[in-house]
Chain A
Amino acid sequence: MGTVVEVAISGLATGAVYALVALSLNMVYVTARVVSFAQGDIGMLVVAGTLELGATQGNLPLGVRLVLCFAGAALVALLVDIVAVRAIRSTRGVTSYGWIVSTLGASIVLQNWAATWFGTESQTFPEILPTGTLNVFGGVVPLEQVLTVVLAAVLVAILAVTVRRTQWGRMARALADNREIAASCGVPVNTVRSSVIMVSAVLVGVAATVQAPQTFVNVYMGTPLLLNGMVAVVLGGLGEVGGGLAGGLVLGLANAIAGRWLDSTLVPYVPFLLLLVWLIFGIEIRAATRRVVNEVLRRPTPTGAA
């Protein structure tokens, strides 16, 4: 029981990080209809920038440095959106994947730009969440893991309320549904889009910052962050905000379970295999699940479902 709880909490903690990245990617997707390959590097910029500020401007407290870097990363994300996504709209007729190429280009630029001032060596990141251990149902769990899950949950809750209850949220949802209609109703679509992009940058920044103390920090950390986020997005369905959150948690749990009970050389394969299986057989898996559920509940199969 203790082991199960430990694995579950550690899985949920990494899963919460992936869920935040997935949320960030999905927010960009529903507003801009692209999945930015530079999003992971935005998170990296927050972490690397905070460390670099600490090294050069030692007297600034950690909180101030973090705030500065979050603001900077949000601006960079906006710049990426303007230069690498909005500017290539005209290529839609030529290729359907121009945005993959241009956001990959943006990712290369950000990584190497960070490398010119941060260097390529790995560094450690200071703990930002309180550390310690908790006893939960006979399992000993690190306090920061529990707090990571709580932090992510609170962020998601705040965002959910904001999107539902505020005028900004209504405008953002209108923009996501239909850009033309939103614009004709007087929604300042470009401003709203920019603000959504900047919020998404903050989310991925939080994910990177929370994860940073657990791993080494270098300028390449954005790539795994992005990939895990993408896997979460795909598992939950592209553009499905709730699905992405669930996908992140599933991926985190799968990693934790594999890490605990599987041969250690096989663990790194897990997310990729999960991704491949879901991408290729996802439709069949969902259809089969639906059939089984219907069978169990003795409901007739809806026509066309098979």
Chain B
Amino acid sequence: MKVRHAPRRFVTAPEVAILAVVLVATVFVQGTNDFYLRIIELVLIYTMVGMALDLVTGYAGQFSLGHSGLFAVGAYSAVYAYLQMGIPFPFDILFAMLVAAAAGLVVGGPALRLADLYLALATAAFAFIIQLAANDLDWITGGAGGVGGLQPSISHSSYSAWLGDHYLWVVMVVFVVGWLSLRRLTQSRWGRALIAIREAGQVASAVGIGLRSVKLQAFVISAAVTGAAGALFAHLGYVSPDIFQLSLSIAFVTILFLGGNGTLIGSLIGALVVIGVPQEVEIDPNVNNIVYGALLIAVMIVAPRGVVGSAALAFDRLRRSASQPDSPAVRPGPHATAIEEHPAPSGSRRRRGAPASLNGSVRACDISKSFGGLHVLKDIDVHLERGELLGLIGPNGSGKTTFLNILGGQLPADAGSIFLDDMCIGGEGPARRAALGLGRTFQHGGLSGTLTVRENVMLGAHLRGTVGFAPAATLVARRLCEEDELRARADVTLDELGVEKHYRDRRPPELPYGTLRLVEVAVALAGMPRYLLLDEPAAGLAEEEIDRLAGVLDRSVASGVGILLVEHHLGLVLDLADRVVVIESGKLIMTGPPRDVAADPKVLEAYLGPDWARQATEAAQ
């Protein structure tokens, strides 16, 4: 694909603005006294932890109370490296990052199987264990009394001492590098994957995102950044186990939620409020804490995305509503299924002449599934060739969606096996199946409500990208290049389905129903699957939208995609399909060309009941 690249922007305008502010503040503070110096250092350090927590909690939606533990691991690793291993400052920071990342791996690996309360408790338990250990392992930590003399300015090594004299600059450099890396990460396909984990888990795994591994990556990166912050904190001079109580984790959470959940830099505002203000304004610490607790509740009530997050969202809405008046949204009824209402689209769209030399198939052999005592599927045997459109029809409750879920890996089958290009995939998860070329849509949407329409489709093209999280954070040009390609791919797919341009920067909840359904198909198509499972894509579509959908499906099949179409719009199925499979009450009752199926008495009976079926047959004769 030919892509016209946007001009290379290594740093964007908002980034420059924020960098300038931090720089000016640093220069300004450098000239004043040690008191302000210390406040700004602390604010930057706490902001780093807030941003690290944002990656896990704000973006990926995994609530952690364990970051005080990771902070402590970073701090004490630096202490150990600096005092006992003789690693000079600032290289002990790298050591601290490594150890903290390892701790993140050990904790996150098992704990990320959990969510919400259980994850909060598991991570809190980790934080408690670290604090207890900090008291007990006095050969590293100096016990409850703590350990001091950690300022690099009193180091024997001359360059360490020089850096220590300019400690604020060191903190600022680490902060800026950390912030820019995290920002680039969240603006890559990896960052989209994180948001999708939070909001659209099912779709994310169906487009090939391994939920657990991406969550774990986020946790480990977050741990490394937190570790660096901990190391910087230790080098302020003194650490003791008292510092790393659970209340520190809660302070990090406060910083994140006051500033902005899912905005990274919002934590700077949170940290200024939580750390900066009380150092400057001398009030009773208890009163101070009451204010924070109350703010935390207030933020959850009025601005659950945090100050920056909610402001950004409001600004975004305002800007778009000013520039683009809403076009009237046509909402067709959600279930327009009767044949009479939708006569088969006129004119033959049917491409024919089977594409040559495209071998391969998905074979489902003897699939059975029951929920409790209810047999939903019984010995279903279906195969889908490349370059063919296979219709799957049956009355409501016949097991069509269950069958699709088993093919897609969302549900395990009780019995039977599934082969993709002769490879047994019955034991693979949805993400692995997507990687092998199996795409799908869902009957009930499930797109991310935070990502725009275009970004959702780019999410669908996740597997078309190659930049992993390490290059995404560092190799600016490569990431931007890939983002341009994915964006172009998304636009091409949206063009094909005729999704209008002004919808593409909107979020899915703002779209008319029919357009939304087309976007869901676009998400599945953007991954360029070799086999595509569609679950009632035409339900709720207007006539003209159905025509566009049919055209796209037709072209996809002509280019060699094998499509399994579950649909109640029989006109569409009979017109497009090469073969049609009919299931009723979990049993396969017929397979054949559309013409034969439409005339088959058993099929008519399944759909219309015996009486009507007899009448229909007689009328036909």
Question: What residues of chain A have their CB less than 8 Å away from a CB belonging to chain B?
Answer: 35, 83-84, 87-88, 90-91, 93-98, 100-102, 104-113, 115-116, 223, 227, 230, 234, 238, 265, 268-269, 272-273, 275-276, 279-280, 303-304
Contacts and interface: CB of A to CB of B under 8 A. Distances in A.
A94 B414 contact: no
A95 B294 contact: no
B22 interface: no
- The interface centre, meaning the residue of B57, B113, B125, B284 with most chain A CB atoms within 10 A of its CB, is B125
Interface of B: 57, 61, 63, 110-111, 113-118, 120-122, 124-126, 128-129, 132, 136, 246, 250, 253-254, 257, 261, 284-287, 289-290, 292-297, 299-301, 304-305, 414, 449
B287 A101 contact: no
Contacts of A98: 300, 304
Given A94-B305, A97-B120, A101-B257, A276 B126 contact: yes
B414 A116 contact: no
Contacts of A108: 250, 289-290, 292-293, 296
B294 A275 contact: no
B290 A234 contact: no
A101 B253 CA distance: 8
Contacts of B111: 279-280
6 A-B pairs with least C-beta separation: A105-B296, A108-B293, A109-B293, A91-B304, A112-B289, A272-B125
A94 B61 CA distance: 10
Contacts of A111: 289
B111 to A, nearest CB: 7
A105 B287 contact: no
Contact of B290 (A35, A113, A272): A113
Nearest to A91: B304
A234 B125 CA distance: 12
Given A91-B304, A104-B253, A223-B246, A116 B287 contact: yes
Nearest to B292: A108
A162 B37 CA distance: 62
A279 B293 contact: no
Contacts, number: 122
Contact of B293 (A93, A107, A268): A107
Nearest to A80: B297
Contacts of B61: 95-97
A8 B57 CA distance: 42
A95 B63 CA distance: 10
A88 B125 contact: no
Contacts of A94: 304-305
Interface of B is mostly: helix
- The interface centre, meaning the residue of A101, A112, A238, A275 with most chain B CB atoms within 10 A of its CB, is A101
A279 B122 CA distance: 7
Nearest to B450: A94
A246 B115 CA distance: 24
B286 A116 contact: yes
B305 A112 contact: no
B114 A279 contact: yes
Contact of B294 (A88, A105, A272): A105
Contacts of B126: 276
A243 B215 CA distance: 31
Given A105-B300, A116-B286, A276-B122, A97 B116 contact: yes
B133 to A, nearest CB: 8
A84 B117 CA distance: 16
Given A88-B301, A101-B257, A116-B287, A96 B115 contact: yes
Contact of B113 (A95, A106, A269, A280): A280
B286 A115 contact: yes
Contacts of A115: 286
A234 B250 CA distance: 21
Contact of A100 (B63, B284, B305): B63
A105 B295 contact: yes
B372 to A, nearest CB: 10
Contacts of A279: 111, 114, 118, 121-122, 125
A230 to B, nearest CB: 6
B129 to A, nearest CB: 5
A214 B414 CA distance: 55
24 contacts: A88-B300, A88-B301, A97-B57, A100-B116, A101-B296, A102-B297, A102-B301, A105-B254, A106-B297, A108-B290, A109-B297, A116-B284, A116-B290, A223-B246, A227-B124, A234-B121, A268-B132, A272-B129, A272-B132, A279-B118, A279-B121, A279-B125, A280-B110, A280-B113
Contacts of A109: 289-290, 293-294, 297
A100 B120 contact: yes
Given A97-B63, A101-B300, A238 B290 contact: no
Contact of A112 (B57, B113, B253, B290): B290
B574 to A, nearest CB: 38
A88 to B, nearest CB: 5
A234 B296 contact: no
Contacts of A113: 286, 290
A227 B245 CA distance: 14
A110 B289 CA distance: 10
Given A87-B301, A96-B61, 18 more contacts: A84-B297, A88-B304, A91-B301, A93-B449, A94-B305, A96-B115, A98-B304, A100-B116, A101-B296, A106-B297, A108-B250, A230-B121, A234-B118, A265-B136, A268-B132, A275-B122, A279-B122, A303-B414
A106 B300 CA distance: 12
Contact of B117 (A83, A91, A238): A238
- The interface centre, meaning the residue of A96, A111, A223, A276 with most chain B CB atoms within 10 A of its CB, is A276
Nearest to B127: A272
Contacts of A269: 129, 132
B117 A100 contact: yes
Contacts of B286: 112-113, 115-116
B125 A35 contact: no
B248 to A, nearest CB: 12
A245 to B, nearest CB: 19
A100 B286 CA distance: 21
B297 A83 contact: yes
B125 A275 contact: yes
Nearest to A29: B117
B281 to A, nearest CB: 16
Contacts of A87: 297, 301
Nearest to A274: B125
A106 B117 CA distance: 16
Contacts of B414: 303-304
A104 B255 CA distance: 13
A100 B253 CA distance: 10
Nearest to A109: B293
Nearest to A230: B121
Contacts of B116: 96-97, 100
Contacts of A84: 297, 300
A280 B110 CA distance: 6
Nearest to A281: B110
A90 B302 CA distance: 9
Contacts of B285: 112
A238 B120 CA distance: 14
A276 B125 CA distance: 7
A104 B248 CA distance: 12
Contacts of A304: 414
A108 B116 CA distance: 20
Contact of A95 (B122, B287, B292, B304): B304
A106 B293 contact: yes
A280 B301 contact: no
Contacts of B254: 105
